[in-house]
Chain A
Amino acid sequence: MAEERRFRGACGAPIALRRRQHSASCRELAVRGPRLQLRSLSAATSAVWLAAYGLFALSENSMVLSAAIFITLIGLIIYLHFVKIDQESLLVIGSLGIQVTSSYASGKESTTFIEMGQVKDVVINEAIHMQKVIYYLCILLQDPEDPQGVSEVVPLFQSTKPRLDCLIEVYKSCQEILEQRTTASQSS
């Protein structure tokens, strides 16, 4: 079963959260950011081309114009492949682990898998980020020596940056799965 709800990201952009329950101990939560807008693409392209035309008018060198076209094309490809993230998803499998996937606009997907033995907890933390205090979801990794300690913090949803209402939904879903492992270890 899948449901989708609309929220806002930290910068005000509209995002959508989609929750799918694959089984009793497996859930997938995907946050989708806004697609690349035609108006921002044409604004950036026109700005670069107008600047190049201004340089051409000053210097009478036609290489400036071809260089501008090249830069725009290459820049767009690099942006779509390395920078623009369309969807970030979290797949929580109760006995196995957590998989974090980022899908870029060009279709590239990068995934990270953290096995359940390393996961201490999934929490909402607040920290200072670029002159703002933001809430962000993060996975706390267990320290092998110290059972109470945290060895590493893995922040999630770094580019869509959902706000607290969306994060609370994701947090509750994750905690329902994570609670099952403590009850399972107590009963066994």
Chain B
Amino acid sequence: NSPAPLPERAIYGFALFLGSWFGFILYLIWAFIPETWLFSLGLTYWPQKYWAVALPVYLLVAVGLGYILLFGINMMSTAPLNSTHTITDNYAKKQQQKKFQEEAIPALRDIPISEVNRMFFLPE
């Protein structure tokens, strides 16, 4: 699973490169060349040229709205001030207490908020 260059990856990359250039040239042909010329060549089954302008506009408006949408989704998923998620969560509730050993670093655990408050705000 390393990101090193491999022959298969080089082939995929080149195929994608050619494919995207082909798609771009096709889009330009569809958007700019008049319909009558394309009909005279026998290519009649194209989508309406309206979409050659509409789709990029749709994409850009979607990108702009995506900023606002992401901001809104973030605000919606923030826990409200009265939820217990601001204090604890499933992992902290199920944690096991390791035995205290002399001369050893204490095991990592989630300290309850009452204890943290006493340490910070009640200096003895």
A→B interface (CB under 8 Å): 120-121, 123-125, 127-130, 136, 138, 140, 148-155, 158, 168, 171-172, 175
Contacts and interface: CB of A to CB of B under 8 A. Distances in A.
Nearest to A155: B81
Given A150-B84, A153-B87, A175-B122, A128 B113 contact: no
Interface residues of B, number: 19
B87 A150 contact: yes
Contact of B81 (A123, A129, A148, A175): A129
B87 A125 contact: yes
Interface string B27-44: 000000000000000000
A183 to B, nearest CB: 15
Given A130-B75, A138-B82, A152-B84, 18 more contacts: A121-B114, A123-B113, A123-B114, A124-B117, A125-B87, A125-B113, A127-B79, A136-B81, A140-B114, A148-B112, A152-B82, A153-B82, A153-B83, A153-B87, A155-B82, A168-B121, A172-B121, A172-B122
Contacts, number: 52
A44 B112 CA distance: 46
A138 B87 CA distance: 11
A184 B113 CA distance: 23
A171 B121 contact: yes
